[in-house]
Amino acid sequence: MKKAVLTWCFFWGILLLAAGQPAGLATTEPETLFQGDVSHSFYFAPSLMLTRWQDRSGFMVGGKVAWVLNQKFGLGLAGYGLTTRNNIGEVLQYANNVFLQVGYGGALLEYTPNPSRLLHFSFPLIIGVGGAAYTNSPLGNNTSNRYSYEVYQTDTFFVMEPGVQAELNMARFMRLGLAASYRFAQGVDLSRSSDRDMSAPTVSLTFKFGKF
C-alpha cells in the first residue's frame, strides 16, 4: 500500500513540474511531413499508351488528373481503356471469334524530384482495379441499323503499375512526358485469360496541362 502511494505521488509530482514550466519551454512545434509554406497546384493529362493484352499489342487512351504539393508530390486519379481490336480466338462455350475488352484505373501517386529543370523525371504509381470482358465484337455489329453486342463473360482484378517518366517543360502550363511502366495484374478469372496475360510493360506519351 505504501509503495502504491509513493508511486502515485511521484506520478503527480512529474505532472505538476511539467505544468509549471514556462509556456515557451513546454510547447514545441509539431513535426510535419511538409515543413514551411506548402504550395498547391494541379494538372490534367491526356495520354496515349502502347501495351500488350493477351500477347497482342494494343493502343489505349486515357488520362490523369492530380493535385500537387510543393511541385513534387502528386495525388490523383488515372484511367485507360483499350481502343484497338483484340481477337483472342475461340472460346468453346461462347463463340469462335471472341474479342477482349479491357480497361483499368485507380489512385495515382507521383513524385517529381526536380520539376523546375527543363528535362526532369517523375515516378508515377497507379494502384487500382481493372475490368475485362469477352464480347462478340470490339465495337458492336451494325446489322439492319441495329447494334448486336453480346457480352459473354466479365471479370474485375487488382492492378498496380509503377513507372518512370521523362518530362520536358514546354511552357509554364504544359509538360510533355514519355513514360515506361509495368502493369501487374492479380486475380484474373476468365476462361482464356490469366494474371500473366493481363500483365505487361507499357510505353505512354502524356501531355500535362495545368498550374506548375
Q: 3-class DSSP state for residue 96?
A: strand
Residue in the structure block whose three cell numbers are 483472342: 88
16 within some domain? no
Handedness of CA 184, 187, 191, 194 (dihedral sign): positive
Note whether residue 194 is domain-resident.
yes
**Does any domain span residue 53?**
yes
pLDDT the model gives residue 92: 65
- Whether 67 maps to a domain, the answer reads yes
The whole-number pLDDT of residue 29 equals 59
Cα 59 to Cα 57: distance, rounded to the nearest angstrom: 7
pLDDT in tens, 9-42: 454 455 444 444 454 444 565 655 566 678 889 9
The overall pTM is greater than 0.85: no
Q: What is the pLDDT of residues 32-76, one digit of tens each?
A: 556 667 888 999 999 999 999 998 999 999 999 999 999 999 999
**1, part of any domain:** no
Q: Please report whether residue 25 resides in a domain.
A: no
32 within a domain of the structure (yes/no): no
Q: pLDDT (tens digit, 9 = 90+) per residue, 141-150?
A: 555 455 567 8
* Contact (CB, 8 A) for 41 and 208: no
CATH code at position 71:
2.40.160.20
Number of structural domains (the chain) is 1
Full domain range(s) for residue 126: 39-211
- Whether residue 11 is contained in a domain is answered as no
Most distant CA atoms of the chain, gap in Å:
97
